[in-house]
Amino acid sequence: MPEGGQTRWLWLSVLVVVLDQATKWMAEAALDPYLPVPLLPSLNLTLMYNEGAAFSFLAGAGGWQRWLFAGLALVVTVALTVWLRRLKPGEAMTAAGIALVIGGAVGNVIDRVKTGRVVDFIDVYVGSWHWPAFNVADSAITLGVVLLLLATLREAPAKG
């Protein structure tokens, strides 16, 4: 295995962080908090803040969760980077998935460390039901997990 495994995929992590931070900056500059701006049917841009984890888990916990979630994201990022380094050259789907998750985790941890809350602005809805608002980092994490699951299913030995 070449030195560094599949670490060349970290360019994708950097791209996710840059896009995530740029879009969050634009959302905060252009949108008023909690006032939806219709973009497409079933899609608004709505500036919101999340002090918790996914789906605002522990959002009202008093502030300690800021450092717990930031620390957890950093530990996961280190573990994923180690995994990335150990991948073989043919494991591109796994490498891309890991890189997307790393980029998303870093994008959200930047917000969490800087302000104690994550900027969300993508508001998907059907009728009066709204999915929890999210951002580019959340999208990258979701896509990364899907790629990891697909890679795992593709590599799973057939039972016979």
State both tokens at 135. 């951002």
Question: Is residue 20 annotated as part of the catalytic site, yes or no?
Answer: no
Q: Indicate which residue of 20, 111, 120, 123 is catalytic.
A: 120
CA distance 109 to 102: 10
Question: Is residue 111 annotated as part of the catalytic site, yes or no?
Answer: no
Type and span of the H or E element at 137: helix 136-155
CA distance 87 to 73: 21
Amino acid letter, residue 113? V
State both tokens at 61. 């916990």
Q: Indicate which residue of 20, 111, 123, 138 is catalytic.
A: 138
Please list the active-site residues: 120, 138
